[in-house]
Structure 1
Amino acid sequence: MLYFIPTPIGNLNDISFRALELLKTCKVFLCEDTRVSKSLLLSLSNKFQIDFKTKKMIAFHTHNEKEILKNLDQDFFSQDIAFLSDAGMPGISDPGYALVDFALKNNIEFEVLPGANAALVALVSSALCEKEFIFIGFLANKGRERQKDIQRALNHIYPSIIYESPKRILSLVEQIASIDENREIFAIKEISKKFETKFKGSAKKVFDQLKEANLNGEWVLVISKNNQNLNSNSLLEGDILELDIPLKTKSKLLAKINGKTPKEIYTKLLLSQN
């Protein structure tokens, strides 16, 4: 049997009893990073006084998964195998999707255990979602594609969940504020760890808070839904922002619908592209 085992995203106590039992019994581990998995087993062993014994660990990640799956013999899956990403739920902005797809296509028995997930913790903590939401994960790192990703998130009629690194969280919130400074957002870092920290408010308010904050740690950002009337035939700011036209022209069009000056908008658009 193939088992996809979620691992703690911060607090070791979040590991489930069933996960611990499978970590003991499975002899082969497919790991996003074998070093991280070895360190996790050592920490769990020390905390819960468990002897996990020696495991065969095989690196399995986005850079080598196609090659490994192409060369795997079906008999390989006759044994109990655990798949581990570095932290959290496999397949959610982590490796795992390709292996699940392979198992489905080849009638390989597998189970996905429930467990820790940063996106859902952030969403519930934000109080910005009553029912539907959109999970985006990581945005493009830079350039025009990143700007498009941010604009799409702001256009969604449901709250959007974004993962971000400490290096880019401040610029991300700054870009959101430059487009819609009053949009309500929620930012959380170091989920379930000792220094878990939360910020909530308008994009401008959160940006001002983050400028004075310690940004170390992994971040999750929740953006409130777009409350504009999407069923009307009127042109939305997002529609204009996505047009492939000169910034000056874009600024003039935006000025006509939001009451700001073209110069002010042009300055913000230039800032958002950096």
Structure 2
Amino acid sequence: MNKGILYICPTPIGNLEDITIRTIRILKEVDLIAAEDTRHTIKLLNHYDIKKSLISYHEHNKKVKGEQLIDKLKAGQKIGLVTDAGMPGISDPGEDIIRMCIQNEIEVVVLPGPTASIAALVLSGLSTKKFVFEGFLPSKKKERIKELERLKHETRTIILYEAPHRLLALLKDMEKILGNRQISISRELTKIHEETFRGDVVEGIEQFESQKPRGEFVLIIKGSEIKEKNIFENTSIKEHIKIYMEEGLSKKDAVKKVAQVRDISKNLVYKESIEIK
């Protein structure tokens, strides 16, 4: 029996019109729809007169339900995966079921569609040439500060998500660690009350101390203007390689990056890496 297909189906992040014709067709054709919150998804399906069986698949049941979905896919069923809003797999357990499909040699088809991170980035007016998506930072202050320290010298534009009750705490930590750099903060994207604040971090703190944060937020932060080369002026080549390896790069890629950042011969960096395991 041929295996089924898992379709990754992006859904509107606010405005119900922001869904592709192809996504509507696929949701009508699949055997089953796996949804983060079935109560939320049924509203979208009713709007487009899509009548399909729903199964819940979310962070708290992803192991059990993930195995059930894999069994159904192995049996030849076609399944559409949706999240509450945007692209499944971005800051949600969709990535787990996708990984399980790949491990089980089940075909995965990703449909293009809306995602709040890219919409907010384009809207920000900050550089879109290079950017890094960090999702939600830790809710605990100590861990959040540690992550901000890691991002302090990031030269690419940074994209973060944050909940309304933690927004001010995040902004205040950003001022201390990242400094008063330019930011853009968007909420209610594509909805009637869509808003985007543009300014610096201090102005952002003032804005949301006077106006209670409501809704989910996307923060776009200007990258550091400190040249990466200067950061490592007092770091040996060997230690520089180790830093990148600790960040997750292979030794080969770390050697290549050190050579680029320092503008030196790759062979010279390679010699320094030989003793590193």
- Give the TM-score of the pair, scaled to structure 2: 0.77
Q: Distance in 1 between matches of 2:75 and 2:93?
A: 18
Per-residue CA deviations over 1:108-155 (Å, capped at 9, x if unaligned) read 122110001000011111122241111000110113111112222332
Size of the aligned set, in residue pairs, is 229
Unaligned runs of 5+ in 1: 46-50, 236-274
Instruction: Name 1:164's counterpart in structure 2.
Output: 162
Instruction: Name 1:52's counterpart in structure 2.
Output: 50
The answer on whether the counterparts of 1:85 and 1:95 sit within 8 Å (CA) in structure 2 is: no
Instruction: Name 1:186's counterpart in structure 2.
Output: 184
| % identical aligned pairs | 39
Instruction: Name 1:126's counterpart in structure 2.
Output: 124
The answer on whether the counterparts of 2:6 and 2:73 sit within 8 Å (CA) in structure 1 is: no
Q: Distance in 2 between matches of 1:77 and 1:3?
A: 16
Q: Which moved more, 1:207-216 or 1:13-22?
A: 207-216
Per-residue CA deviations over 1:178-228 (Å, capped at 9, x if unaligned) read 334421111111111111111111111121122222411110001111111
Q: Distance in 1 between matches of 2:136 and 2:164?
A: 12
Q: How far is 1:230 from its partner?
A: 2.2
Instruction: Name 1:62's counterpart in structure 2.
Output: 59
The answer on whether the counterparts of 1:77 and 1:108 sit within 8 Å (CA) in structure 2 is: no
Q: Distance in 1 between matches of 2:23 and 2:128?
A: 30
2:20 to 16, 19, 31: 16
Letter matched to residue 98 of structure 1: D
Q: Distance in 2 between matches of 1:118 and 1:230?
A: 29
CA gap 1:52/1:16 in 2 versus in 1, 3 angstroms: same
- After superposing on structure 2, the runs of 4+ consecutive aligned residues of structure 1 that deviate more than 4 Å are 74-77
Instruction: Name 2:103's counterpart in structure 1.
Output: 105
Letter matched to residue 149 of structure 2: Q
Q: Distance in 2 between matches of 1:191 and 1:69?
A: 30
Q: Which moved more, 1:3-12 or 1:72-81?
A: 72-81
The answer on whether the counterparts of 1:181 and 1:204 sit within 8 Å (CA) in structure 2 is: no
Per-residue CA deviations over 1:10-66 (Å, capped at 9, x if unaligned) read 001101111111122223111112111112212x23xxxxx322x221111222222
Instruction: Name 1:264's counterpart in structure 2.
Output: none
The answer on whether the counterparts of 2:73 and 2:106 sit within 8 Å (CA) in structure 1 is: no
Asked if 1:25 is matched to 2:35, the reply is no
SS in 1 for 2:55: strand
Instruction: Name 2:239's counterpart in structure 1.
Output: none
Aligned CA RMSD, in angstroms, stands at 2.0
SS in 2 for 1:12: coil
Unaligned runs of 5+ in 2: 235-277
Q: Distance in 2 between matches of 1:11 and 1:199?
A: 20
Instruction: Name 1:3's counterpart in structure 2.
Output: 7
Letter matched to residue 43 of structure 2: S
Letter matched to residue 197 of structure 2: F
The answer on whether the counterparts of 2:35 and 2:56 sit within 8 Å (CA) in structure 1 is: yes
Q: How far is 1:101 from its partner?
A: 1.0
Asked if 1:37 is matched to 2:41, the reply is yes
Instruction: Name 1:260's counterpart in structure 2.
Output: none
The answer on whether the counterparts of 2:32 and 2:80 sit within 8 Å (CA) in structure 1 is: yes
- Give the TM-score of the pair, scaled to structure 1: 0.78
SS in 2 for 1:169: helix
Q: How far is 1:76 from its partner?
A: 4.7
SS in 2 for 1:231: helix
CA gap 1:228/1:77 in 2 versus in 1, 3 angstroms: farther
Q: Which moved more, 1:13-22 or 1:100-109?
A: 100-109
Letter matched to residue 61 of structure 2: N
CA gap 1:75/1:16 in 2 versus in 1, 3 angstroms: closer
The answer on whether the counterparts of 1:3 and 1:83 sit within 8 Å (CA) in structure 2 is: yes
The answer on whether the counterparts of 2:136 and 2:160 sit within 8 Å (CA) in structure 1 is: yes
Letter matched to residue 146 of structure 2: K
Q: How far is 1:234 from its partner?
A: 5.5
Q: How far is 1:107 from its partner?
A: 1.6
